Amino acid sequence: MKLTRLSGLALAAAITLPGVVSATPEHYVIDTKGGHAFIQFRIKHLGYSWLYGRFNDFDGTFTYDPDDAKSSEIEVNIRTASLDSNHAERDKHLRGDDFLEVDKYPDASFKSTSYKETGLNKAVLEGDLTLKGITKPVTIEIQPIGHGPDPWGGYRRGFQGSTKFALKDFGIDYNLGPASRMVEMILSVEGIRQ
């Protein structure tokens, strides 16, 4: 009888004492202002080399629950005019009617629909990518990079991921040749816990 009562008291204490309660979802803001997040892309140039670029202006948030990773979520918004491939004339072309039509579609976005850990430091993120007003499901292979306190009293968590999709899936049918029909996006995200 005493053992049962003591077990009940211990359970009650565990439920009510601060620091003993089970973890809750952690909310993060992606650290774009500090330059610790990147959205890059690459596509083959004539099948001979890779053309790399990035989007310089984006923001987003994510939620991660250490006790229930599958409930994790992310949402990212991208200003398409911030495309930068390190070549002014090419950037003008990529922002124009043949590709992103940034005047008509100034924003792109990604919103997750599921997150599943598939092994040690491996996960799969499913979600909806909206580009040029077209929304399609994409799968992002994720690698958690690390997490912990930062030197300024905050707490950070970082991930890297990549996905591939056909340009034509998002209404881009400019003929770049058979080797340049798929684009790869590489995402490096560091979030600051709120």
What is the DSSP code (8-state) at residue 3?
Answer: H
User: pTM of the predicted model, to two decimals?
Assistant: 0.85
Cα angle vertex 87, ends 35, 103, to 5°?
A: 80
Q: What is the pLDDT of residue 23?
A: 66
| Chain center to CA of 82 | 17
Do residues 43 and 51 touch, judged by C-beta distance below 8 A? yes
pLDDT at 24: 86
Q: Which residue, among 116, 110, 30, has the nearest Cα to 68 in the 3D structure? A: 116
How many Å is the Cα radius of gyration of the chain? 21
Q: Please, which residues have CB within 8 angstroms of residue 148's CB and are 6 or more apart in sequence?
A: 155, 156
Instruction: Give me the pLDDT at residue 10, please.
Output: 37
pLDDT for the residue 82? 98
Indicate whether 5 pLDDT > 60.
no
Q: What is the amino acid identity at position 35?
A: G
pLDDT at 15 over 50: no
Q: H or E element: which one contains 163?
A: strand 155-166
Sketch the domain layout of the chain as residue ranges. 23-193
80 contacts 100 by C-beta, under 8 angstroms: yes
- Per-residue pLDDT for 11 more than 50? no
pLDDT tens string 16-64: 344 434 468 999 999 999 999 999 999 999 989 999 999 999 999 999 9
- The whole-number pLDDT of residue 120 equals 87
- Evaluate the CA torsion angle 156, 162, 168, 172 in order and state its sign: positive
Residue 7, pLDDT above cutoff 80: no
CATH classification for the domain delimited by 23-193, as one of 1.10.10.10, 2.30.42.10, 3.40.605.10, 2.40.128.110: 2.40.128.110
Could you give phi then psi for residue 9, rounded to 5 degrees? -65, -40
pLDDT tens sequence across 65-124: 989 999 999 999 999 999 999 999 999 999 999 999 999 999 999 999 999 999 888 999
**Residues 123-153 pLDDT 10s:** 999 999 999 999 999 999 999 999 999 999 9
Cβ–Cβ < 8 Å for 90, 102: no
